[in-house]
Structure 1
Amino acid sequence: MPDQLPRRDAPYVAGETAILLVDMQRIWLEPGLDPDHPERGPEHYFYRQTASVTVPNNERLLAAARASGIEVVHTIIQSLTEDGRDRSLDHKLTPIHIAPSCPEGLPLENLAPKGDEILIPKTSSGVFNSTNIDYVLRNMGVRYLIITGIMTDQCVDMAVRDAADKGYLVTCVSDACAATTQERHDTALKAFGGYCWVSDTETVIRRLEMRAAA
């Protein structure tokens, strides 16, 4: 019955919740490392926004997630082979290729996996399309998925929509995501907002603290 369906903003459940950080990699977040955009200096909107808002909020969310005991999963764009022959056709045409030996392809040090947290490389915009993440999450009993990262209008967008289609109750933490412009960020949130609960860092942290105290 419809009245028995869960709400998208339902409280997180112990043992059924995970946070997914999307593409929080040095190559995209440290000025001067992105080979396709050498024109973007430290004062570019994206770098200012991620340094001052997105990354700090991800740090806070990670700390809260770890303290509450939920699963922490990271995904990054990274080929399985040094020459990238395993990449999706789209990544070959773009082209996007980050070899497994490339240190710039790893997450920022302050957002890197700890302990046995899972790091999943992907070779497409959609992590559910080019990895076994759905299999992994279901094996761990995850039903509630909190998503953060970059870009809001690309890889985050696809993660949110695909996760919702596969039956997860998705939270997108709006101020822990970013796009190349504020307009693209805002437009993306409006476009995929129907697939998830769009919330903010403060609210999600309070929810995680409540879960930890329960």
Structure 2
Amino acid sequence: MSNDKTQDTATSTTYDSVDPLREQYRETLITNRALTRALGTHHAAMLCIDLQYLDAARGWGVFADAERSGLPPESQDYYFDRLENTVLPNVRRLQDGFRSLGLEVIHTRIQSLTQDGRDRGPGHKRLGLHAAPGSKEADFLEIVAPQGDEIIINKTASGVFTATNLEYVLRNLNVTALFVVGVYSNECVSTAIRDACDLGFYVTLIEDASATVTPELQRATILTMKDRYARVMSTDQALAEISKVEEIAD
């Protein structure tokens, strides 16, 4: 019995590190020429998810009452330290890079159509998530707020593609590739990535421009998304790639 158990453990360990479809996915996501063409023809856009006072600011929205937020103090400290010191500065760097090249920067946020939130999705009603039009909770964080006439998509569910007309807007813009940032990595961000991938968009997740409430959930999200639903890049890598847009176009 012990030998069988040892053998099962060894087999499990071996298969844990094997992904039989890795190369196929890498070929379609990482080295795909269509993605390169999307950049070169300005058919790439940056998608910024839910960087607002409701869920990304100390003392507001979900975190208005720290004790009732459901997160222990250490999780809140981790989340906000990562946001303030890493994610938000990187998002802004990326936004500036996309803007300088004339590439679309698109913003999503949680915001109801009504003041009482009666139009919200069932999930948001159960969770008590509500950002009324004109409320502080619906405001974007200033450092990464929309500029000019950048597109804003309001939603009342986790999945921006299922709850809004985002796909329609992207098709009208001829966008075929998305660089995704925002919060929470394991919820609204990963849902958007999965849906975008299924809809045929080429998706890149910016690892150091996304955040969630624990390092374990962040790592799990990256592991799940990487080379399966999206490429995973750092901010520096993404900026280096988009900086070549003009020479790709040539």
Q: Is the structural similarity TM-score above 0.5?
A: yes
2:194 to 161, 170, 176: 161
Q: 1:131 aligns with which of 164, 179, 184?
A: 164
Which structure 2 residue ranges, 5 or more long, are not aligned? 1-23
Q: State the Cα deviation string for residues 162-184 of structure 1 (Å, max 9, x = none).
A: 00000000000011000101110
Deviations 1:86-136 (A, max 9, x none): 100111111211101202321111211111110111000010011000000
**CA shift at 1:13, angstroms?**
2.9
1:38 corresponds to 2:94:
no
SS at match of 2:244: helix
Matched residue pairs, number?
Answer: 211
Deviation at 1:145, TM superposition (A): 0.7
The alignment status of 1:27 with 2:46, answered yes or no, reads: no
Say yes or no: does 1:77 pair with 2:105.
no
Counterpart Cα distance in 2 of 1:25 and 1:48: 16
- The correspondence for 2:237, drawn from 195, 203, 207, is 203
CA contact (8 A) 1:69 1:212 kept: no
Instruction: Give the TM-score of the pair, scaled to structure 1.
Output: 0.92
- 1:212 positional shift: 4.0
Q: Are the counterparts in 2 of residues 14 and 70 from structure 1 also a CA contact under 8 Å?
A: no
What percent of counterpart residues are identical?
36
**Structure 2 counterpart of 1:38, one-letter code:** A
Is residue 178–residue 203 contact of structure 2 (8 Å, CA) maintained in 1? Answer: yes
Q: 2:29 corresponds to which residue?
A: 8
Describe the superposition over 1:39-73 as per-residue Cα deviations: whole angstroms up to 9, x where unpaired: 37697110011000000100100000101111110
Q: Gaps spanning 5+ residues in structure 1: where?
A: none
AA aligned opposite 1:81: T
Q: Which has the higher helix share?
A: 2
Question: Is the CA contact (8 Å cut-off) linking 2:61 and 2:137 kept in structure 1?
Answer: no
Distance 1:203 1:7 in 2: 19
Find the structure with the greater CA-based Rg.
2
CA distance in 2 between partners of 1:85 and 1:21 (Å):
25
Contact 1:91 1:124 in 2 (8 A): yes
Q: Can you list the C-alpha shifts for 1:135-190, whole angstroms capped at 9, x where unaligned?
A: 00000000011100000000001000000000000000011000101110110111
Normalising to structure 2: TM-score of the pair?
A: 0.79
Of 116, 121, 130 in structure 2, the residue corresponding to residue 88 of structure 1 is 121
* Alpha-carbon contact 2:121-2:156 (below 8 Å) kept: yes
Closer, same or farther in 2 for the Cα pair 1:146/1:100, shift >3 Å? same
- Alpha-carbon distance, 1:6 to partner: 7.2
Instruction: Report the Cα offset of residue 14 of structure 1.
Output: 2.3
CA distance in 2, matches of 1:7, 1:123: 32
